[in-house]
Amino acid sequence: MIDCGYRQTMKSAVATILIAGAGRIGSRYLQGLAKCHIPLKIYVQHSHEEALGRAEQRWNEALGPETHHSVSFHTSLESLPRQLSIAIVTTTAGIRPRVVGEIATLADVRFWVLEKVLAQSELGLDEIMSHIGCSHNAWVNTPRRMIPWHQQIKLQLGFHHPMTLKVEGGLWGMACNTIHFLDLLAWWTGEALQDIYTDRLNTHWFKDKRQDNWEVSGTMEFRFSGGSRVLLTSKENMDLISLEVSNGRRLWRIKEAEGLAMRSDGIEIPGCVPSQSEMSASLVESILENGCCELPTLEESVALHRVFIRNMLEHWKRAGNCTATFVPIT
């Protein structure tokens, strides 16, 4: 359990926030922080000036310069302060372990928020854990746990196990986004991921829109310790992604794009999945004010990542990359 006994009065203090990685996700984090009620001193770091320029533009679009926050942009971590309230690491998975290590070496970090996929190998996961440790001051951004709509759905699901979660859709970025749905079932059931079956995955991987990263399609099955399962399918000719969950008593269909969850007996729960820019402020405020948040802890997420990364690397090797030591997903 996360210890939420931590309290910090931030009305007069200024919290120092690092966003390492100013790409698409990092710039959305920054944009959302404009709504934070706690005064922030924000440091945005990225190795490319172009990315920093886009991040600054999004900060201006959010009227950030009119807030009580200050923002500075940096191409190097060396110029950052040595005390950080929160380090948010949104780099790609390939460099995330190294960046976490550099930050941990340069600064005393009170809290961490890491984007997924955490790393591209088990060695990378171990590296992250060695720098941050198993304490409850680090979380991974698989955010359905903190979305009010999904919290309502979880309450209606109850605790009748085992559950089966089916996720189907077009080319929705299976390698990149699978961890979201593994965390969703782990949150629903409290079960641990045990086995992955990749025999129905396509052997042909294709290039992702992100440079030097790859994607895959087909079907994967995941089995959990209490008998629950996740079945994921990604095929080019399919419609928008949809979720279906059953527990032997009820069947739910969740259409996130339409904002509607429908139960087999006619009950409906409308809602929405907010964007990252809409969630950043409440996430940071929860951490600064309470010392905790509703995201999974790093330790919880690493347990899921470890099984997933191990099996994806084996499939990557079988696809013709037999000497590979990491799987190029992000």
Per-residue pLDDT tens digits for 245-280: 998 888 999 999 999 999 999 999 999 999 999 999
Distance CA 255, CA 60 (A): 33
pLDDT given at position 1:
35
Place of tokens 């080019």: 236
Could you tell me the domains of the chain? 15-143+279-296 (3.40.50.720), 148-273 (3.30.360.10)
pTM for this model (two decimals): 0.94
> pLDDT-based confidence at 209, cuts 50/70/90?
confident
Q: Name which of 31, 35, 135 is nearest 88 in CA terms.
A: 31
Give φ, ψ of 229 to 5 degrees. Answer: -135, 155
Q: Which two tokens stand for residue 27?
A: 């710039």
Per-residue pLDDT tens digits for 302-312: 999 999 999 99
Does 11 score more than 50 pLDDT?
no
Element (H, E) at 244: strand 242-246
